[in-house]
Amino acid sequence: MIGDVIKRSLRQRSPVIPVEALLGNCDGSRMPEIVADHLTPAIAQKLIEVCPTSALGIEEREGRRCLRLSYGQCIGCGKCAETGQGAVAVARQFNRCGVAKEQTVRLWDIDGRAEVTPPALNAEEARGQIHSLLQRALNVRQLDAGSCNGCEAEITALTNPYYDLERFGIHFVASPKHADMLLVTGPVTRNMAEAVKATYDAVPAPKLVVAVGACGCSGGIFAGSHAIVGAVDAVIPVDGYIPGCPPTPAMLVTGILEVLRRRVAK
Amino acid sequence: MKEDTPSLFAPGGQASPGTAFTLPQSKDGGAARLVTIFGSLDPHGARRAHYVFDVGKPAYSEIVLPADGLLHSIARELPGAAWHERELHDQYGIEIVGHPDLRPLVFHDNWPDGVYPMIGRVDDVPWSQREYRFLQVQGEGVAEVAVGPVHAGIIEPGHFRFSVVGDTILHLELRHFYTHKGTEKLFEGKSVGDGTMLAESVSGDNCFAHAVCYSQAVENAYGIEVSPRALAVRLIGLEFERLVCHISDVGGLCTDVGFSVAAAYATRLKESVLQASVQCCGTRYWRGIAVPGGLRFDFDAARVAELAQAVARTARDFSKIARLIVETPSIQNRFETAGILTRKAARDLAVVGPVARASGMDLDVRRDHPYGDYGKRPIEVPVTHYGDVMARARIRIAEAAISAQLIRDAAKFLPDGSAFTPITSQADIQGFSAVESPRGELCYWVEARGGRVIRCHIKSPSFQNWPAMPLAVAGNIIADFPLINKSFNLSYSGCDR
């Protein structure tokens, strides 16, 4: 019986997705992007009204009125794209996974119709650096601080034959004591706050912490609840943020490798 | 759904020392199955307790009692009510007399006594330190094993306290609600449309069932007729979710017994349909699609047909691999007789979904209380009475095949027309809806005024099924616990909300 299964598997072509096709890929994430040419003050106003998590807002930057999009708060609900009259599109590439918190925010000058924030990173250069990191070892411990299980479903997918995280030398481990990196999902609930701190303390230094998903980055749709303490960084220090609700496996791969790259580049 | 059934009240409506009522009977004579119990506030701010029963096809029956005084516990007659009553007490501070175990359920040691979030405001709740007593099993050779809340895998948090003698589990006590996010409270003040986003974040892998159930509750209340096209797409989405969930579960069972080839194969099948879903509708788990009134956007018929083809291919491969799995002797050795949930225990605890159907309870919301497009043709409901891990695996395998069939039929005849019917009414409403989610009967009860939600109760199948798990693991060895737990496949977040 088992022989049949193995034979069957061997007959099929490996579905593994090359790393080049994963980095920056955000298909299926519903992450929005502003199309600056179509931006007007009236549309910007409408956008911030429909956003359920205040991911969209108005912010002054050097005397200019800007539309702010905080990807860490975005749950990809698509309401902005519905009301944006062409000023919002679904992103085709997304390079802000595993970045520092300030880089999860983008600003567009509403009157000038142009983005004022610099690109997150030189994507080509980052890719080159990431390649040199592959096949070293990284032990990851996933920690659910109160998520809805959406992020867990996508993190579990990282071990399937399409993403095959093991090929990069990245393993999921059972104990925080064996981990180099904590991958933390969910808003930190009141009931989990103590366990989150204890888990963080159990990871030997040097350690990396990645906040995963809208809830992990900002509290997401649960921000302000009486039963949550806040985002992951309200409880433990965070090195990188992976937005998305939930982030797709490709975004998770991009984010984990980017956090690693930033650590090595330091 | 009926409301306020006065004949069921004890004489005088609110008898002293607490309100009592006669438990309803089902049409076939036995005690009616408890569906859910929840609290709400009437327009004057007085507390009410709602009891929902399944009295037989096709209606659910609701009893509403004033609850500012005392309530009599029904947990001794219907043990499945125990957690509901504890939650009612934690959320509303309703006094319940005669309850066998009124320890805090939802809030842990950090929550102060006397703070009830569903009545009044809960800003800046102080941190407190109270003590929770676990049940202690005493006797020679009894040891305690504490597991969690952080588990050794990519799983949600929860605490399991085992009392064991050697390898054998004498007793398991659950402590959950680590992922409690106050979701029902967060619904307050949301527009009825925006409530969908919260519903989608209750249980991440069943988000479409939650979104559809919430939407239906609102639609039922406003009397909105959803377009045939939207209903057809919803059916496809609901069955897609069930198929994905069941493939994942059967693969997970293989992981837990070390059958890694089959497990890897199942993850591959699951991923292949998720990717097909991205091609069809731009999302892997069908978030942001359902909304009160229909769908957020229309679907392209050709892409739906492609999805149906991918599903058919996957279902075919899955049924082959599933047969290999259940016919493998070492799998049979681990799955059979492990974690038996007896029919009596399942009935007492009012268990739902594949877990109930594996323990001889013949129930399925799609057939018994049809909604959406389900009333149109007869639906096959697999039932078996063994109640072990193998029975639950076989139920899921059979259901996955039926889901693929339903998707194929629905995609073949996708009706034309619009996919969305706007809701223009702002009337005061109360609505109820039930959906057969992959884990079983899921219910939403929504009350809204002026287009804003003032109360939303979510009865998730996991909340109902978790208390049954300790009964299934008793007498098994502790090494089989992960397997039995996986075979129930309960959502922590869905339970904790």
Alpha carbon distance B481, B473 (integer Å): 7
**Is A149–B111 a contact, with Cβ atoms under 8 angstroms apart?**
no
Q: Between A30, A187, A194, which is nearest B181 by CB?
A: A187
| CA-based nearest distance A62→chain B, Å | 34
Q: Between B125, B180, B324, which is nearest A4 by CB?
A: B324
Is residue A75 less than 8 Å (CB to CB) from chain B? Answer: yes
Q: Hey, CA dihedral for B210, B214, B217, B219, is it positive or negative?
A: negative
Alpha carbon distance B215, B229 (integer Å): 15
Alpha carbon distance B497, B491 (integer Å): 10
Q: Identify the structural domains of chain A with CATH numbers, from first to last.
A: 32-115 (3.30.70.3270), 126-265 (3.40.50.12280)
Nearest CA in chain B to A153: B205
Question: What residues of A are in contact with residue B265 (Cβ under 8 Å)?
Answer: 5, 8-9
Say if residues B326 and B332 touch (Cβ distance below 8 Å): yes
**Is A195–B178 a contact, with Cβ atoms under 8 angstroms apart?**
yes
pLDDT per residue, tens digit, chain A (266 aa), is: 667 767 776 777 888 999 888 988 999 999 999 998 898 999 999 999 999 999 999 998 888 899 999 999 999 999 999 998 899 999 999 989 999 999 999 999 988 888 888 877 666 777 777 777 776 788 999 999 999 999 999 999 999 999 999 888 889 999 999 999 999 999 999 999 999 999 999 999 899 999 999 999 999 999 999 999 999 999 999 999 999 999 999 999 999 998 988 888 77
Closest CA to A243 of A232, A252, A234: A252
Lookup: tokens for B345: 């225990």
Nearest CA in chain B to A248: B284
| CA-based nearest distance A199→chain B, Å | 8
pLDDT score of A261: 87
Alpha carbon distance B419, B295 (integer Å): 6
Q: Measuring CA to CA, how many Å separate B104 from each of A148, B83, B84, B403? A: 22, 10, 12, 39
Return phi, psi of residue B260, to 5°.
-75, -25
**Is B156–A152 a contact, with Cβ atoms under 8 angstroms apart?**
yes
pLDDT score of A117: 85
Closest CA to B191 of A85, A90, A77, A231: A77
Is residue A142 less than 8 Å (CB to CB) from chain B? Answer: yes
Nearest CA in chain A to B497: A148
pLDDT score of B11: 33
Q: Between A175, A187, A192, which is nearest B149 by CB?
A: A192
Say if residues B235 and B373 touch (Cβ distance below 8 Å): yes
**Is A153–B123 a contact, with Cβ atoms under 8 angstroms apart?**
no
Lookup: tokens for B83: 């957690």
Is residue B146 less than 8 Å (CB to CB) from chain A? Answer: no
| CA-based nearest distance B325→chain A, Å | 8
**Is B267–A159 a contact, with Cβ atoms under 8 angstroms apart?**
yes
Is residue B451 less than 8 Å (CB to CB) from chain A? Answer: no
Cβ-Cβ pairs closer than 8 A, A with B, add up to: 187
**Is A191–B155 a contact, with Cβ atoms under 8 angstroms apart?**
no
pLDDT along chain B (497 residues), means of 10: 35 43 78 92 92 86 88 90 94 91 92 90 87 90 93 92 95 95 94 94 95 96 93 96 96 93 93 95 94 93 95 94 92 95 94 96 93 90 95 96 95 91 90 95 95 95 96 95 95 94
Question: What residues of A are in contact with residue B107 (Cβ under 8 Å)?
Answer: 190-191
Alpha carbon distance B302, B150 (integer Å): 45
Question: What residues of B are in contact with residue A194 (Cβ under 8 Å)?
Answer: 110
Nearest CA in chain A to B194: A52
Nearest CA in chain A to B108: A191
Beta bridge partners of residue B64, listed in sequence order: B50
Q: Between B262, B283, B329, which is nearest A5 by CB?
A: B262
Amino acid at B103: R
Burial-class residue A69 by CB neighbours within 10 Å (0-12, 13-18, 19+). Answer: buried
Is residue B117 less than 8 Å (CB to CB) from chain A? Answer: yes
Contacts of A148 (CB under 8 A, 6+ apart): A186, A215, B179, B201, B202, B203, B204, B207, B493
Is residue A187 less than 8 Å (CB to CB) from chain B? Answer: yes
In this prediction the ipTM stands at 0.92
pLDDT score of B9: 32
Question: What residues of A are in contact with residue B284 (Cβ under 8 Å)?
Answer: 28, 154, 248
| CA-based nearest distance A255→chain B, Å | 18
Q: Which of residues 258-297 of B touch A (CB under 8 A)?
A: 259, 261-262, 264-265, 267-268, 270-272, 274-275, 277-278, 282-285, 287-288, 296
**Fold match, B1-133 / B183-496:** no
Amino acid at A238: V
Q: Between A6, A149, A154, which is nearest B203 by CB?
A: A149
Nearest CA in chain B to A186: B179
Mapping DSSP onto H, E and C, the string for chain B reads: CECCCHHHECCCCCCCCCECECCCECCCCCECEEEEEEEEECCCCCEEEEEEEECCCCCEEEEEEECCCEEECCCCCCHHHHHHHHHHHHHHCCEEECCCCCCCCCCCCCCCCCCCCCCCCCCCCCCCCCCCCCCCCCCCCEEEEEECCCCCCCCCCCEEEEEEECCEEEEEEEECCCCCCCHHHHCCCCECCCHHHHHHCCCHHHHHHHHHHHHHHHHHHHCCCCCHHHHHHHHHHHHHHHHHHHHHHHHHHHHHCCCHHHHHHHHHHHHHHHHHHHHHHCCCCCCCCEECCEECCCCCHHHHHHHHHHHHHHHHHHHHHHHHHHHCHHHHHHHCCCCCCCHHHHHHCCCCHHHHHHCCCCCCHHHHCCCCCCCCCCCCCCCCCCCCHHHHHHHHHHHHHHHHHHHHHHHHCCCCCCCECCCCCCCCEEEEEEEEECCEEEEEEEEEECCEEEEEEEECHHHHHHHHHHHHHCCCEHHHHHHHHHHHCCCHHHHHC
Closest CA to B458 of B419, B422, B493, B414: B493
Say if residues B410 and B232 touch (Cβ distance below 8 Å): yes
CATH topology of domain B1-133: Beta Polymerase; domain 2 (3.30.460)
Q: Which of the residues A144, A165, A201, A253 would you substitute to probe the B interface, choosing the one with the greatest number of B C-beta atoms within 10 Å?
A: A144
Q: Between A28, A155, A189, which is nearest B278 by CB?
A: A28
Nearest CA in chain A to B109: A191
Q: Which of residues 72-111 of B touch A (CB under 8 A)?
A: 107-108, 110-111
Q: Between A5, A82, A149, which is nearest B265 by CB?
A: A5
Q: Which of residues 216-255 of B touch A (CB under 8 A)?
A: 248
pLDDT score of B17: 44
Q: Measuring CA to CA, how many Å separate B91 from each of B130, B132, B453? A: 17, 18, 17
Contacts of B5 (CB under 8 A, 6+ apart): B61, B62, B63
**Is B287–A30 a contact, with Cβ atoms under 8 angstroms apart?**
yes
Lookup: tokens for B341: 């949930």
Alpha carbon distance B99, B78 (integer Å): 11
**Is A150–B492 a contact, with Cβ atoms under 8 angstroms apart?**
no
Domain ranges, ordered by start, for chain B: 1-133, 142-175, 183-496
Return phi, psi of residue B368, to 5°.
-80, -35
Question: What residues of B are in contact with residue A186 (Cβ under 8 Å)?
Answer: 179
Nearest CA in chain B to A187: B181
**Is B177–A176 a contact, with Cβ atoms under 8 angstroms apart?**
no
Beta bridge partners of residue B63, listed in sequence order: B51
Beta-sheet pairing, B440-449 with B429-437: antiparallel
Q: Between B197, B204, B270, which is nearest A52 by CB?
A: B197
First to last CA, chain B: 25
Is residue B334 less than 8 Å (CB to CB) from chain A? Answer: no
CATH topology of domain B183-496: Cytochrome-c3 Hydrogenase; chain B (1.10.645)
Alpha carbon distance A96, A119 (integer Å): 9
